[in-house]
Amino acid sequence: MKRLISLTIALLMCISLLAMTASATSASATLTGPGTVRAGDTITLTFNLSGSGLYSASGTLSYNSSQLTLTGTSQKIGGNWSVDFNGNNFVAIDSKLSNPIKNSTALFTVTFKVNSALAVGTKISVAYTDVVATDGNTDADAVTATYSATIAAPASKDNTLKSLNVSNATISPAFNSNTTEYTAEVPFDVSKLDVKATANDSKAKVSVNSPNLTPGGTTKVTVTVTAESGAKKTYTISVKRAQDPNYVASNNNDLSGITVDGFLLSPVFSADNTKYVIWLPYETETVTISGTPADSKASVTVEGGDALTAGAENEIKVICTAEDGTQKVYTVIAKRAAAHGAGGEDTPPATQPTVPADPTQPSTAPTTPAPTEPQCSDSQQSSDGVQLWLVIVIGVACLAAGAVVGLVIGKKFSSK
């Protein structure tokens, strides 16, 4: 009997302990941010909640407003969770109780601007206090999440090199941390520059860009120093590599096109045709012509095109020089129109006074020819005579008619 009673009591105690264990809820929270903070920085802190089966959490923000200025908050957790901010308080909840927190989860971020007047060594602190989480039935014990940092010295702006060494070439001038441009010449068998550089500040970063060197050309090798503050400085070595001794230079001196700014070339361009014409109005005194080489290693020069002579054929040369130095000349004749009224018309010269050989004698005034009577041709005289007789005849007829009318009227009055 005693044994049965003892077993019963033990069973009841186990059941009680199981019930207590099932109802216990625990939670923890952290506030994380940058390890280095300087005066004037903008810092973003992340609030993380850990637990098992948590559906909501709340807490209160605490910070020194003389050191930090709150600039914003942003929800990070997704799903059916919502995070609301009211002043310094927050409430996060899973509205559908479908996505409980089971491990460390970022709920939201909070951003501050650090006072730019804070001295180096000043300690700053941000905390969320009275953080309470729940599984929907039981609240976990309140916890506090804290972030703290010490104001560090301003980031170094030193972006200079302490040394610059090239093992397979000699740079010129000799290295100086304040000199950023250098040159070097290497034989053909050196295909890449071996560069080693060290930053003056141990917190600065150095990157070297040393591409393959172009035979017979100049290649730029760069060394970039990035200071702790982010400021950059670039050192450049212009490396001229000798040409391959077996290299044969191109003799392609053809053009792939000729362009006349604002006017048409005639005939249509062809690489084999070296003679062209353009027609220009009198108002055009200059013309711009350019040529494009068929070979990228060739060069083009243009002679002429300025101060074009009106009424003449102006020769413009477009010269293509191949890599091996051979040249091909394309000629463009610019035909500029003559001045208006200068197309061959006779223009009488202005009469000028005669200047005497002896300056003491009066100058001879230009003689003006005496006016002459206009002369009429026979046909003109004949025509004028006919017109005169016609007028006389018409006049006499009119006089006669008037006399007859006057006699008739006079007789009528006398009869009365």
| CATH number for 92 | 2.60.40.680
The reply to whether 34 falls in a domain is: yes
Given this model, what pLDDT does residue 340 score? 81
Predicted confidence (pLDDT) at residue 7 exceeds the cutoff of 90: no
120 and 222 both lie in a single domain: no
Residue 372, both tokens: 């002459």
pLDDT tens digits for range 225-273: 999 999 999 999 999 999 999 999 999 999 999 999 999 999 999 999 9
- On whether the CB atoms of residues 164 and 195 are closer than 8 A, the answer is yes
Q: Say whether both 33 and 148 belong to one domain.
A: yes
Residue 308: domain span: 255-336
Total domain count, the chain: 3
From first CA to last CA, the distance across the chain in angstroms is: 192
Do 30 and 77 reside in the same domain of the chain?
yes
Place of tokens 């004698």: 361
293 and 327 together in one domain: yes
Q: Say yes or no: 267 and 328 in one domain.
A: yes
Residue 260 lies in a domain: yes
pLDDT at 42: 98
- Is 134 found in the same domain as 29? yes
Distances (CA, A) of 180 to 164, 225, 235, 239, 270: 11, 11, 4, 14, 47
Does residue 15 lie within any of the structural domains?
A: no
The answer to whether residue 136 sits within a structural domain is: yes
Position 60 in a domain: yes
What would the two tokens of residue 118 be?
């804070």
Percentage of the chain lying above the pLDDT 90 cut: 74
Pairing of strands 312-321, 299-303: antiparallel
DSSP assignment, residue 60? E
- Give yes or no: residues 141 and 200 share one domain: no
